[in-house]
Amino acid sequence: MHGLMLEPRTRLFGGLIVAAAAACFSVNGPWSRLGYRDGLEPLGLVTWRVGLGAAVLLGFVLWRASRGRPIASPRALPARVRAGLIAAGGATFLSNLLVFAAFERMTVAIALLTFYTYPVMVTVAVAALHRERPTSAKLVALVTALVGVVLVVASDVDPAEGLRFDAIGFLLALGGAAAHTSFVLLSRNGYRGVSSEQSAAFFLAFAFVGFVALAVAVTALGVAPGGWGQLAFPLEHGSVVPTLVLLGVVGGGAPYLLYLVGLRMIGAMRTAILAMLEPVVAVAMAAILLGESIAPLAVAGGALVLGAGVLLQRAPEPFAEPEVAEPEVAEPEVAEPEVPIVRHAAGPADGAG
């Protein structure tokens, strides 16, 4: 193992990229509510979001390829890299699926709080794998951000509706947190040979195929209402298309790309902590788009999360990366120069001079 000290510029730039990703992810909450008001169902909404996000990123990949950016060929990738990509794609699908399923079974605030245990999971996993040892500054930032998220999410609870807890819903949200933890850990070093935009496009495409398959299965088995009809809803109601496009571009494609870029720059633990800005920005977005008031509790929680981000920027601790074995390159054989053998002439018949 060796430690790499993050340069201040890298730390700042990477942190801003992750913060931008969190801000983009935050539009999913308020704009999803608008979609639900127009008749969209969760399965249809999340399927279209990841599908449109994948399409946008694929277009970006092709645009960069036209300017000389090589596209990684799956056949040319090592088996370990291909396995990492598939595993991260599966984690993307599972985290989205499990969290949305948890929303259906219990109060959204409890599901969100359960999901945001994933930074703790990332910290423990990183420490166990010796990739990035948690320092005191990072632990303080983690606890501060978690307290802030609790305050922000708690401020969104409607006292009239009360809290609805469900054991299965809790396990679903916890599973979503575990899946996202796997995604973060895999994305840090699991497929370095593939660019961030190509990786993000693959993950969203993988999730899209998974949700379409789920819709087909739900329709065929009749285990839940809607199914395939949820996917066809936007084709019959054009009024929801702008909402889906915004969710796909701003809430899907852009944040996944930014998240991967920032993650590769500043490491898993810093990324997980800074990503907790998402619910803070979501409250502000809800106030702007939906006219909701911001409770003092949310302001206090937002200040704590922002303070945790500032603390991370002021704590230039090194992070450790696993050593990558250099490929063995066979050295070309260099023929030794022939040294002429001088023999003493015995006579003209020998042909030597």
3-class SS at 179?
helix
- pLDDT score of 223: 66
Percentage of residues in the chain with pLDDT exceeding 70? 83
Please state the rounded mean pLDDT for residues 24-38: 86
CB atoms within 10 A of CB 321: 15
- pLDDT score of 133: 72
Q: How far is CA 191 from the centre of its chain?
A: 13
How large is the angle between the packed helices 28-37 and 42-66, nearest 10 degrees? 130
Q: Tell me the backbone φ, ψ of residue 276, rounded to 5 degrees.
A: -70, 0
Tens of pLDDT along 89-137? 999 999 999 988 888 788 877 888 899 999 999 989 988 886 567 788 8
Which tokens is 91 given? Answer: 């984690």
Name the residue type at position 185.
L
DSSP secondary structure of 246-294: HHHIIIIIHHHHHHHHHHHHH-HHHHHHHTTHHHHHHHHHHHHHS-PPP
Query: Which segment of 71-75, 129-133, 320-324, 331-335 scores lowest on mean pLDDT?
Result: 320-324
* Stronger pLDDT, 291 or 202, i.e. the higher one: 202
Query: Which segment of 15-19, 188-192, 265-269 scores lowest on mean pLDDT?
Result: 188-192
Tens of pLDDT along 43-66? 889 999 999 999 999 999 999 999
Q: Provide the mean pLDDT of the chain.
A: 83
Please state the rounded mean pLDDT for residues 332-342: 48
- pLDDT score of 334: 47
Write 236-242 long-range contacts (CB < 8 A, 24+). Answer: 237/38, 237/39, 239/38, 240/35, 240/38, 240/39, 240/40
| Range list of β-strands (E), the chain | 2-4, 319-321
Q: How confident is the model at residue 287 (pLDDT cuts 50, 70, 90)?
A: confident
Angstrom distance (rounded) from CA 59 to CA 63: 6
Tens of pLDDT along 299-311? 999 999 999 988 8
Angstrom distance (rounded) from CA 102 to CA 112: 9
